[in-house]
């Protein structure tokens, strides 16, 4: 049997504002996202990329149409269902949102502790392992203030990935990074798809990393106007 899609949006519409100010931002979006793949949402500013991402990622309520995320319908889901779902998700944003008073390791541990599971020794080992995979083995005890922009973003990525989420939602994760750091981050996401079947949906304007995407969906004025599958590019896999 074919593996179920982790995300299925059907007849998805979204409106902002009320009364005369009510404006439709998303129009009849129908998307089925494949497991273990890196899917990119592109399009001009204001085309609805972030709105679609946040609707799929339980960060915005679905009112009109359907999103099934990991088998749960989001339109009308209960708070308990959202809590259970969010435990299986990872988020990466353009602004890294690290705690400035915590070290790199402590920031990554936050990604595990919000899930409230695991023994402390194993959690510490997992945090160190994830930071090492992202090339930060010699920065474990640094405060964010002493890290470069690229290093901070990699700490944020480690924090999102350390809990081994099933789906990762990333909004412009490479926007503030130089080419090499941006590529490292996206290669890591792609490697996770191959190694752990993690599904990533990523909004980006960054043409430098598009070749790594398995699929590129283009939005314009709230509608899907282009949807292209790409054959896998060669990737230097990071050791798990
Ligand atoms: N909170 C909001 N209130 C009212 N309108 C909004 C809100 N958020 C987004 N919009 C509108 O919805 C449309 C889609 O916005 P969205 O942020 O999803 O686009 P985007 O493609 O992610 O843009 P960008 O690349 O600039 O981030 C735009 O017309 C925007 O002005």
For 38-58, the pLDDT digits (tens) are 999 999 999 999 999 999 999
The pTM (predicted TM-score) of the whole model is: 0.90
DSSP the chain: -PPPPSEEEEEEEEEESSGGG-EEEEEEEEEEEPTT-EEEEE-STTSSHHHHHHHHTTSS---EEEEEETTEE-TT--HHHHHHHHTTEEEEESS----TTS-HHHHHHHHHHTTT-S-HHHHHHHHHHHHHHTT-GGGTT--GGGS-HHHHHHHHHHHHHTT--SEEEEESTTTTS-HHHHHHHHHHHHHHHHHH--EEEEE---GGGGGG-SEEEEEETTEEEEEEE-PPPP--PPP-
Identify the pLDDT of residue 1: 45
Task: Name residues whose C-beta falls within 8 Å of residue 229's C-beta, 6 or more positions apart in sequence.
Answer: 214, 215
What is the 46 CA–ligand 1 centroid distance (Å)? 5
Q: Which two tokens stand for residue 96?
A: 């890294």
Statement: residue 190 has pLDDT above 80: yes
Q: Among 114, 100, 234, which Cα is nearest to 165's?
A: 114
Identify the pLDDT of residue 240: 40
25 lines ligand 1 (CB under 6 A): yes
217 lines ligand 1 (CB under 6 A): no
Placement of tokens 């060669």 in the chain: 234
41 lines ligand 1 (CB under 6 A): no
Percent of the chain with pLDDT over 70: 93
Q: Which two tokens stand for residue 57?
A: 């990622």
**Cα Rg for the chain, rounded, in angstroms?**
18
What is the 204 CA–ligand 1 centroid distance (Å)? 14
Statement: residue 34 has pLDDT above 80: yes
| pLDDT digit string, tens, across residues 54-102 | 999 999 999 999 999 999 999 999 999 999 999 899 999 877 689 999 9
96 lines ligand 1 (CB under 6 A): no
What is the 52 CA–ligand 1 centroid distance (Å)? 10
Q: Are 166 and 71 in contact (CB under 8 A)?
A: no
Q: Are 112 and 77 in contact (CB under 8 A)?
A: no
Q: Are 112 and 118 in contact (CB under 8 A)?
A: yes
What is the 113 CA–ligand 1 centroid distance (Å)? 32
Confidence of residue 233 (pLDDT cuts 50, 70, 90): low
Strands 89-93 and 167-171: parallel
> Across residues 25-37, what is the average pLDDT?
97
158 lines ligand 1 (CB under 6 A): no
163 lines ligand 1 (CB under 6 A): no
Q: Rounded to an integer, what is the distance from CA 207 to the centroid of its chain?
A: 18
| pLDDT digit string, tens, across residues 131-164 | 998 889 999 999 999 999 888 988 998 999 898 9
Confidence of residue 120 (pLDDT cuts 50, 70, 90): confident
Sign of CA dihedral 82, 25, 169, 8: positive
């Amino acid at each position: 049997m074919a593996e179920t899609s982790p995300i299925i949006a059907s007849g998805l519409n979204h409106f902002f504002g009320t009364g005369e100010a009510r404006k439709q931002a998303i129009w009849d979006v129908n998307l089925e996202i494949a497991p273990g793949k890196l899917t990119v949402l592109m399009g001009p500013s204001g085309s609805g990329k972030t709105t679609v991402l946040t609707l799929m990622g339980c960060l915005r309520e679905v009112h009109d149409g359907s999103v099934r995320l990991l088998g749960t319908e989001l339109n009308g889901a209960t708070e308990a269902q959202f809590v259970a779902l969010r435990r299986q998700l990872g988020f990466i944003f353009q602004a890294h949102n690290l705690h400035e008073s915590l070290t790199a390791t402590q920031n990554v541990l936050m990604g595990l502790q919000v899930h409230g599971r695991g023994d402390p020794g194993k959690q510490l080992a997992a945090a160190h392992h994830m930071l090492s995979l992202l090339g930060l083995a010699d920065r474990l005890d640094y405060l964010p203030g002493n890290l470069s922009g690229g290093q901070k973003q990699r700490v944020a990525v480690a924090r999102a990935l350390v809990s081994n989420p099933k789906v990762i939602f990333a909004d412009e994760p490479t926007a503030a990074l130089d080419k090499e750091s941006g590529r490292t981050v996206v290669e890591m996401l792609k490697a996770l798809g191959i190694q752990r079947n993690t599904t990533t949906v990523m909004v980006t304007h960054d043409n430098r990393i598009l070749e790594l995407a398995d699929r590129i969906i283009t939005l314009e004025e709230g509608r899907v106007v282009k949807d292209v599958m790409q054959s896998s590019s060669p990737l230097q896999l990071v050791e798990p």
